[in-house]
Each structure stands twice: as structure tokens, then as C-alpha cells.
Structure 1
Amino acid sequence: MQRKQFTQLLNDILKPDSIADFCPNGLQVEGANEVKKIVTGVTASQALIDAAIDHGADTILVHHGYFWKGESQPITGMKKRRVAALLAHDINLFAYHLPLDVHPVIGNNAQLAHLLDIELSAGLEAGPNSVAVKGFLKTPLTGKEFADKISTVLHREPLTSLVRDDKIETIAWCTGGGQGYIDLAAAQGIDAYLTGEASEQTIHSSREQGIDFFAAGHHATERYGIKALGELLAEQHGFDVTFIDIDNPV
């Protein structure tokens, strides 16, 4: 498929124009005109680029790409080496951030819910495209039981603040760095909040508002949207797609 057609296909699936973001979504670095062999991964790190080169990929598709608002603009140092490697090997870099978080089927939040047996019911924020969402556990669990389930499914022991005696029934979540939504979840009377990261104040919010909290890792909670997108491209459109997981303890 030609790069222009591939870009349109991704935009049709993820609808990036429907949500304001902190980076450009879509094609970030132009490479080969024809897209045949795709590597997917969470972040466009040097390790992922090197793995894609070894794999003979012409396209890399990630959740975390480049050119974030507020970052240093000069292409020097680490950024220069990454971009230079892409250009030298004629590799396209596509990145979709919030559009991949919020997609109702292959998005990070939806995929995490599927893995952890959570029923998604609505957005946590008012209006369309809420980055954080809420729902309920299909089988209510104690905080300890849910933490154990996270460890088993994500292969990552979560940081927890378990303050409730009752089983968790309602839950809100946002993959990645969504710890700031805990207060909104608490205000809505939700039993527990799950995200990727924690800040110092997050634990105080949990303790003082009586809401269980789980931080299961930014990377660990965001592996699954990009993986699901690659699987969709392979199954429905015949692309050669390989998901490469570059481990990250954060």
C-alpha cells in the first residue's frame, strides 16, 4: 500500500482530528513510499528503531512518537541519532497518542479493560473522547485480589494504596500517566482507580478520599493498544506486522 493510502487508513481507524493532543498524530518521519513490513511498539526509542532495522521494516508504528509540545525543538543528540537512523534506512514513523488511548475497541483503555475483566460503561470526564473511563469489575475483588490479578496478567507488580475493606465493584482507569484523574474518580464515588504511574500526592488522595489506587506501569498498561492496532492491520488488510516489546520498568 502506498504511504499516502496507509496514512488515510490509520486516520480513518483512529480519527486523530477528533481530539486535541500534545503531539502530531500520524506520519512524523517520512520514509519509504510503499508500506509492506511494519514493526509496532510502545515508544519510538533507539532500541525499537534498531530492532525494526534488523527486522527489515519499512514502517514503525508507535504510541509514543516525537515532537511533543514543550520539548526542545533542535534535532540534536539523542533525537538526531533516532531521526538519522530512520532516514538512513528509509523507515516511516507513524505515531498515535491520545487517539489510540481512547479508541473504543483497540484503544489502550479498552484493551486493558478486556485483559482485566472490566466492563467499560462511560467516560470519567464529561463530553466525548474522555481520556479516563469508568466501569465495573465483572467479578468484584478485594484490593489485594485485584493487585494479584494485575501482576499475573501484566507481569508487573503494581504500586498500590489499599484503603477500603469492601470488595471493589466500580473502577475508573486511564493507561499511562493518568494519575491526576484519581480525584475525579473519588468525587464520583468510585471504589478504585487504576493507571500507569503515581505522583507523591496520589497516595494522599487515595488515603484521604477512601479510594483504592493501583499504578501498574506506564509501559505495562500501554502495550496493548498498539499491539491490537497492528493485529487489525494484519488480519483485515494483509500487512506483515510484528509487535516488538522493548521492556521498560516505568
Structure 2
Amino acid sequence: MDSNHAQLGRGALETHLAGLLGVDRFKDYGPNGLQVEGRATVRRLVSGVTASLAFIEAAIADGADALLVHHGLFWRGQDGRVTGWMRQRLGRLLAADVSLYAYHLPLDAHAQLGNNAQLGARLGLVADAQFGEQALGFIGPAPEGTADAAALAARVAVALGRTPVLLPGDGRPLRRVAWCTGGAQGYFEAAIAAGADAFITGELSEPQAHIARETGAAFLACGHHATERYGVQAVGEHLAREFGIAHRFIEIDNPA
């Protein structure tokens, strides 16, 4: 299928990604890099958000030599036994001799290719500062055409194809907007302290409704999966350009 494409060594791919994404800078919730070792060379890379069974099976059917994901298989605090869903996922990868590369916080944070940068590009947001733990949050001027939180929510709905949950705060004009993809609802207070009039992330927990009411800052929960579809695609496209390997992104829908 990919005879006209170059090939890249499994280890060389991991080394390049470690340097590109600055893996050593982050204290993370699981291992970043090669999580499952497959065949020695990569001609065809398939990227996706999460190493779910549906994604693994779709990628193998597509002829992948390696998978690149944001949410890998292994996380701090897991049970550790290879049973049930873990056995199913690992079994498919090992039987097909396919590698799995996973990058969590490093993929969120990259200034050009990361989830925050790529989401910002789709919303017209340009960061001029970072905030929060490990400087994962981005903040910048409100984009033109988003005078208030309702207008910002409408822009998000068009860009992501889903209506966000909006906590409008006090309805103030937007001067500064902060964002951090995925499950970063805990960054809301740090975003406010950094000067944000509105904060965009993926998920909403109970405390944020009260914080929005009491501080007047708006909060937009736009979907964990929905906000984190773009970084892994950008990295896959970078690798295709840099090394001449084939790349395809496969979307597995997730309402979360």
C-alpha cells in the first residue's frame, strides 16, 4: 500500500518525537513515548485521539505500522493486570505487530502543533502568555467578532461541530480569553487570576458553575474529545512531511 513512501525506524521515530515535544520537561500521569513495541520500521502511521479498541482495529485494518495517540493505554494508579479491555487492546496490537506511541501533556503544550495551539488556531485565538501548573494554559486577546461569551460559544459550536455548555458569568465584554483542552476545568481559577474574562476547556465539574457566578468570568465546556482532536493530526502531518512516511487520522466519535 505504501511502497512509494519512505520508512523510519521505530526508535528514530520515538527519539524525534521526544525532542519535538519536549517530553522530559513534563511531569505526567503516564508514560510518554513508545508504549507498545511493534515492527522495527514505520511506513504508515495512523493517528487518533485515544487508543480505544475501535481505533486500534480501524488503524490495523488501514495497514498501520504504528499508531500515534494523545491518550495511551497506561496511566498512574491503574490496576496493572492485563485482563478485560486492556487484554483486548494489547492483544490486537501485539498480534498485528503494531507499535503504539502516546503523548499526553507534551502534546497539549507544544506551541505550534499541540492541542492548545491547534484549537486556538481554529477559534482565532493567539496566545501571548501561559499560566497554570506546568504552564499548560494559554491566554490571549479575545478574537474579533466575540464581544461576549455567547458570541464566543457560537464560534466554538461552528468550529467544533457541537454546542458547548456555557456558563456566561456576568455577561461582561471579552478582552482576554484563556483556554486549555481536555479535562482542565481545574485551571479555571488560575485563568481568572491570569486576567481571563472567559475560559475554554473540554469538561465541566460542579465547582465551576459557582466560580463563574461568583467571579463573573465565563466558562465554556466544549468536549474533552472535541477539543483534543487536532494536535495529534498536526504531529502526524509533521512526521509525514519531515520523513516522507504515510499518515492518516482516524476519528472515533466520542460524546464526552
- TM-score by shorter chain over 0.5: yes
Are positions 1:233 and 2:239 aligned together? yes
Deviations along 1:197-242, one digit per CA (max 9) or x if unpaired, are 0001111111111100100000000000001001111122211000
Opposite residue 134 of structure 1, the aligned amino acid is I
1:1-150 matches, within 5 Å, as 1-125=8-132, 129-139=134-144, 140-150=146-156
Opposite residue 141 of structure 2, the aligned amino acid is F
CA offset at residue 111 of structure 1? 0.6
Opposite residue 61 of structure 1, the aligned amino acid is L
> Aligned equivalents of 1:197 and 1:125: distance in 2?
17
TM-score, length basis structure 1: 0.96
CA offset at residue 163 of structure 1? 2.0
Aligned to 1:221: 227
**SS across alignment from 1:110:** helix
Give the superposed CA RMSD: 1.1
Q: Which 5+ residue runs of structure 2 have no aligned equivalent?
A: 1-7
Give the % identical residues.
45
CA offset at residue 184 of structure 1? 1.4
> Aligned equivalents of 1:237 and 1:141: distance in 2?
43
203, 226, 244: which one pairs with 2:250? Answer: 244
CA offset at residue 169 of structure 1? 1.7
> Aligned equivalents of 1:14 and 1:189: distance in 2?
27
**SS across alignment from 1:41:** strand
Opposite residue 108 of structure 1, the aligned amino acid is N
Aligned to 1:197: 203
Q: Which 5+ residue runs of structure 1 have no aligned equivalent?
A: none
Opposite residue 28 of structure 2, the aligned amino acid is D
Are positions 1:188 and 2:194 aligned together? yes
**SS across alignment from 1:197:** coil
> Aligned equivalents of 2:139 and 2:87: distance in 1?
40
> Aligned equivalents of 1:21 and 1:189: distance in 2?
26
Tell me which stretches of 4 or more aligned residues in structure 1 moved more than 4 Å.
none
**SS across alignment from 1:94:** strand
CA offset at residue 167 of structure 1? 2.3
**SS across alignment from 2:77:** coil
Query: What number of residue pairs does the alignment pair up?
Result: 248
